């Protein structure tokens, strides 16, 4: 008896009374400022990883993978380009450090020399990339309805 009352209390839509509605969708737009910020993100992470290597260098290695995965296939192809270039530099230098560091002793001198070499390699390229990103003319991107 109780199940019959619950069943009767739940309104069940009648398919004959339902009409198809086509909601008007507004296209999503990624602004030029958002695209520029996304293009700068990997370079900012590289700067922080070089300037504060102990806490942020290791954390940036993990976070950079996420940033790369998100921004490499950005709707604005220039964001993907700048992200890819910054990632090539960072992962290339990091790979060099891993190979060379296997032969280090426990002294701090070799680590400081390595840090200085990493800074000499990454800082100028990163700064140059940030200047290029700032000087580039960025355009807003309108996404299609089928875009995720």
The string of pLDDT tens digits covering residues 24-53 is 667 788 999 999 999 999 999 999 999 988
pTM for this entry: 0.77
- What's the CA gap between 142 and 31, in Å, rounded? 9
Over residues 13-27, the mean pLDDT reads 60
List the structure tokens of 5: 């009352």
Q: Is 68 exposed, middle or buried (0-12, 13-18, 19+ CB in 10 A)?
A: buried
DSSP state of 73: T
Average pLDDT, the chain: 85
The torsion angles phi and psi of 75, rounded to 5 degrees, stand at -60, -30
Over residues 92-117, the mean pLDDT reads 90
CA 107 to chain centre: 35
Higher pLDDT pick, 89 / 56: 89
The domain spans of the chain are 30-135
> Could you give the residue ranges of the DSSP H alpha helices within the chain?
2-9, 32-51, 58-71, 77-101, 108-135
Q: How many CA atoms lie within 13 A of 27 on its CB side?
A: 10
- What's the CA gap between 125 and 89, in Å, rounded? 8
- What's the CA gap between 44 and 121, in Å, rounded? 15
């Amino acid at each position: 008896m109780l199940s019959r009352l619950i069943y009767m209390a739940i309104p069940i839509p009648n398919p004959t009374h339902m009409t198809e509605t086509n909601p008007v969708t507004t296209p999503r737009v990624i602004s030029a400022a958002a695209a520029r910020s996304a293009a700068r993100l990997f370079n900012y992470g590289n700067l922080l990883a070089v300037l504060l290597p102990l806490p942020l260098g290791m954390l940036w290695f993990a976070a950079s993978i996420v940033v790369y995965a998100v921004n490499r296939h950005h709707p604005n192809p220039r964001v993907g380009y700048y992200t890819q270039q910054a990632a090539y530099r960072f992962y290339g230098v990091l790979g060099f450090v891993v190979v060379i560091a296997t032969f280090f002793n426990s002294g701090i001198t070799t680590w400081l020399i390595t840090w200085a070499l990493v800074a000499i390699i990454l800082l100028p390229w990163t700064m140059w990339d940030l200047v290029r990103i700032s000087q580039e003319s960025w355009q807003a991107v309108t996404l299609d309805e089928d875009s995720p």
